[in-house]
Structure 1
Amino acid sequence: MDPDTVLRLAHEQAMQYPSVEIDHPFGPENTVYKVRGKMFMMAFRLRGIPSINLKIDPLDGEVLRDAYAEITPGYHMNKKHWITVAGGGDDGSEGEAADEPDDEDGNGQEPGERFDSDLLHDLVLESYCLVVAKMPRKDRPVDPVTFGGRDAMG
């Protein structure tokens, strides 16, 4: 999935969630998505590549970073709790290794691991729900455990 598609799909999904607002506290080139004033996603360009930061469970983040070239530690964020997602194509690292492939076919992708729209959907939903779960119950726009069919995810 190319980086522009990642940004477009993430934006479309985030805007469907209750109480989501867009802000630009870091300038017009950085779009921050908030739920009740708390950031759960940020869209920006990292060395010219459209990218997003998403909140993540630390254990999930570690597994995802190992499995997908498009997922790296959160750029300018707490590396334990945030990831950066940039679509595949050029590289997928932090925008600097296009001439240094990680594998034989030079796409920076491990064989068999494909970053797709379903995974992106899950990551945006997870980020939103992690932020909502930290809010006092009375302030939550949704139940973070069941929102989006998450009750099976635990």
Structure 2
Amino acid sequence: MDARALIAAVETIARQLPDVDSTRAVGSNRRVYKIHGKIFMIVTDAADGAMVTIKVDPIRAEILRQQYVEISSGHGMNRRHWISITASDAISREVFENEVRESYRLVRAKLPTAERTSDGRRKRSLSGKQLQAVARMLASGLPGVDHGRPFVEKLDVYKVGGKVFMIVTDDPNELIITVRAEPEQRGNLFERFASVTAGRYLDKDRWISVGAGKGITQTVVSDVVKASYRLVLDTVPRRERPAGITDV
């Protein structure tokens, strides 16, 4: 493919891939293609030709560099994980499209699962009210759960076997839920989501509070509520557990 065909192929493929966006800096001859903020392709369109830089598995990168003179280590990127493809008749459209799609899949596969649907589309983050509504609905449907306001009016407390596993804060200035979490889960959530913090009201080493924010989807809320329920239920003596307990 010549430079014009290469650029045309890039635009065609990009339109076919879900959730791709592209930007070009003012005065730059480079266009960057991303999926959910993660770069998978950079296109340089210069007067002397065109070049596409894509992410690739290191072993695959080495094989391609040996097969094609027109494929080199990624310009300006990690040389093991990126390759640059120069417009040339030696690179067929089929080969080019395959490598671009593989780059897209490679980057998409590393996105947090909770942020993607089965077809790779980003799930919608919840508002504070939506987050709390989902948590309440889910918690109320779990076996043996009851709730009330034993502490203060603004705290809706959910229990199983008489033990707290979730608190919903009814405060328009602080629409959060507070649930129990294992240390490993806590660390992972803190790293992934800015709106997950140490638990309010309770032991900060064992509880987390979850508010609306980027990436806080229905799946995330469901996971943390169910995990908290299981953790607390494990502390309830079997003879005191409510009937109808099943895996959740």
Inter-CA distance 45–66: structure 2 relative to 1 (3 Å threshold): farther
TM-score, with length taken from structure 1: 0.73
Residue 5 in 1 paired to residue 97 in 2? no
Aligned length: 123
The answer to whether the 8 A contact 1:54-1:123 is kept is yes
1:36 aligns with 2:161: yes
- Contact 2:144 2:243 (8 Å CA) reproduced: no
What displacement does 1:140 show? 2.4
Deviation for aligned residue 1:49? 2.1
Asked if the contact 1:133–1:140 (Cα under 8 Å) also holds between the matched residues in 2, the reply is: no
- For structure 2, the residue ranges without an aligned partner over 5 or more in a row are 1-125
Q: TM-score, length-normalised on structure 2?
A: 0.47
* Higher-Rg member (1/2): 2
Q: Once the 2 structures are TM-superposed, how far is the Cα of residue 139 of structure 1 from its aligned partner? A: 2.0
Aligned position for 2:211: 86
Which structure has more RCO (C-alpha within 8 Å, separation ≥ 6)?
A: 1
1:1-154 matches, cutoff 5 A: 1-45=126-170, 48-88=173-213, 109=214, 114-141=215-242, 147-148=247-248
Deviation at 1:5, TM superposition (A): 0.5
Q: Percent identity?
A: 29
CA pair 143-65 structure 1, distance change in 2 beyond 3 A: farther
Instruction: Give unpaired runs (5+ residues) of structure 1.
Output: 89-108, 149-154
CA distances 1:78-101 after superposition (whole Å, capped 9, x unpaired): 11110001112xxxxxxxxxxxxx
> Aligned partners of 1:127, 1:48: CA distance in 2, in Å?
24
Measured in 2, the distance between the counterparts of 1:77 and 1:52 equals 12
Whole-Å separation in 1 of the counterparts to 2:178 and 2:148: 14
Amino acid at match of 2:226: L
- Counterpart of 1:116 in structure 2: which amino acid? T
Which stretches of structure 1, 4 residues or longer, exceed 3 Å deviation after superposition?
141-144
